[in-house]
C-alpha cells in the first residue's frame, strides 16, 4: 500500500518520471520485414497514438539518421516524427556525454553515428583520441582497421555501437557492427564495450528520452538475445513476437523468459496489456 501511495505521489509531480504505460519497439521483424509492413503493425501504432501512449522505435543499426529512418517507415505506410526513433548511435553519444563530455574519438561509422557524436560535442580526430568507435558503415577498409588498431594499442578506449554480427538486406544477410570489430579485437586483444541492445544502458537512455519509469514500460521485440534480454535486465515488461527471428522452438533454449509471447504485434492491445508490476499488484 505504501508503495502504491509513493507511485501516485510521483504521478502527480510534473517534474518526476512518469508511470504512464509506454512502449519501446524494435523495428525489423516487429514492424516490418525488410520493405514490407507486418500485417496489423499500423493498427497497433494507431492505438498508441489514440491512447497517447509514449513510444519509441529502438534499433541497433547506427548507420541511419532519425530523418532517414522516418523516410524508410513512411515508405511502408507508417507516418511518425523523427523524435520517435532511438538508435544505438544515440546511445553511444549519450554514453560519452555521461562518461567524458567533450571527448575525442576516431570513428569508423556511417552518417547516423557521426551526426549524433558531433551533435553531442565529440571531437572527431585521428590524433591521440580518447576513444575508437566502430559502427555500421560502407567505408571500411584495411587502412582504417590498421589505424584503429594502432590507436587502441596507444591507449584509446574501444567502444562499438552494437554487437549484432549480421544485418538483413533484400539479397541476404551482411556483416554488421559485431563483425566489423572482430579483426581489431583479435589483433589488439581488446574487446569493445557495446552500447546497443542488449545493454540495459540503451534502454535507460531511451526511457529517459520518454521520461518514463521501467515499472510500466514495455519492450516489444523479436530477438531473445537482444530485445528481450535487454528489456529484462532493464526491469521492463518484455513482449516477444514470433514474426521475426525467434520461433517457439528457439524460445525453449533460453534460460530466461519474456513476460508475454505473441504471434505478432497485431495481437497486442496497449490499452489492456498489464505490466509485470500491475500483474503482481493484482
Which homologous superfamily does the CATH classification assign to the domain defined by 2-60+198-281? HAD superfamily/HAD-like (3.40.50.1000)
CATH code, 89-194: 3.40.50.1000
Work out the mean pLDDT of the chain and round it to a whole number: 92
Q: How high is the pLDDT of residue 173?
A: 81
State the average pLDDT over residues 108-133.
97
Q: How far apart are CA 26 and CA 221, in angstroms?
A: 5
pLDDT digits (tens, 9 = 90+) for 179-221: 999 999 999 999 999 999 999 999 999 999 999 999 999 999 9
Going by the DSSP 8-state scheme, the letter that residue 222 receives in this structure is S
Locate 225 and state its grid cell: 538475445
* Residue 281's pLDDT band (cuts 50, 70, 90): low
For CA atoms 259, 15, 86, 22, give the dihedral sign: positive
Q: Respond yes or no: is residue 222 known to be catalytic.
A: no
| DSSP per residue, 78-119 | ----GGGEEEHHHHHHHHHHHHSTT-EEEEE--HHHHHHHHH
Asked if residue 230 lies in contact with residue 198, where contact means CB atoms within 8 angstroms, the answer is: yes
From the list 15, 28, 141, 259, the catalytic residue is 28
Asked if residue 247 lies in contact with residue 91, where contact means CB atoms within 8 angstroms, the answer is: no
Q: Is the pLDDT of residue 264 over 80?
A: yes
Q: Respond yes or no: is residue 26 known to be catalytic.
A: yes
From-to residues of CATH 3.40.50.1000 in the chain: 2-60+198-281, 89-194
Q: Which helix (DSSP H) or strand (DSSP E) does residue 229 occupy?
A: helix 229-233
Q: Is the pLDDT of residue 37 over 90?
A: yes
Q: Classify residue 247 by burial, with Cβ atoms within 10 Å: 0-12, 13-18, 19+.
A: exposed
Give the residue with greater pLDDT, 19 vs 280. 19
State the average pLDDT over residues 146-158.
98
pLDDT digits (tens, 9 = 90+) for 224-233: 999 999 999 9
Q: Classify residue 191 by burial, with Cβ atoms within 10 Å: 0-12, 13-18, 19+.
A: exposed
From the list 6, 26, 222, 259, the catalytic residue is 26
Q: How high is the pLDDT of residue 272?
A: 96
Amino acid at each position: 500500500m505504501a508503495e502504491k501511495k509513493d507511485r501516485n505521489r510521483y504521478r502527480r509531480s510534473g517534474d518526476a518520471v512518469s508511470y504512464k504505460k509506454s512502449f519501446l519497439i524494435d523495428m525489423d521483424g516487429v514492424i516490418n520485414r525488410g520493405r514490407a509492413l507486418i500485417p496489423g503493425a499500423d493498427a497497433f501504432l494507431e492505438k498508441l497514438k489514440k491512447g497517447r501512449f509514449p513510444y519509441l522505435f529502438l534499433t541497433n543499426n547506427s548507420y541511419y539518421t532519425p530523418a532517414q529512418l522516418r523516410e524508410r517507415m513512411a515508405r511502408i505506410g507508417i507516418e511518425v516524427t523523427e523524435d520517435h526513433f532511438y538508435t544505438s548511435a544515440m546511445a553511444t553519444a549519450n554514453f560519452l556525454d555521461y562518461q567524458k563530455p567533450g571527448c575525442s574519438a576516431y570513428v569508423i561509422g556511417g552518417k547516423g553515428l557521426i551526426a549524433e557524436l558531433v551533435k553531442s560535442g565529440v571531437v572527431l580526430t585521428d590524433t591521440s583520441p580518447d576513444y575508437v568507435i566502430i559502427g555500421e558503415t560502407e567505408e571500411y577498409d584495411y587502412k582504417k582497421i590498421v589505424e584503429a588498431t594502432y590507436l587502441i594499442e596507444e591507449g584509446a578506449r574501444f567502444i562499438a555501437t552494437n554487437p549484432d554480427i549480421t544485418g538483413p538486406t533484400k539479397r541476404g544477410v551482411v556483416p554488421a557492427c559485431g563483425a566489423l570489430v572482430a579483426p581489431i579485437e583479435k589483433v589488439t586483444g581488446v574487446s569493445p564495450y557495446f552500447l546497443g541492445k542488449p545493454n540495459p544502458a540503451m534502454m535507460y537512455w531511451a526511457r529517459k528520452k520518454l521520461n518514463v519509469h521501467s515499472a510500466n514500460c514495455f519492450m516489444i521485440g523479436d530477438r531473445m538475445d537482444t530485445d528481450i534480454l535487454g528489456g529484462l535486465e532493464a526491469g521492463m515488461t518484455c513482449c516477444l513476437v514470433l514474426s521475426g527471428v525467434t520461433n517457439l522452438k528457439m524460445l525453449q533454449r533460453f534460460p530466461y523468459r519474456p513476460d508475454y509471447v505473441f504471434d505478432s504485434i497485431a495481437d497486442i492491445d496497449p490499452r489492456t496489456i498489464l505490466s509485470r508490476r500491475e500483474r503482481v499488484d493484482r
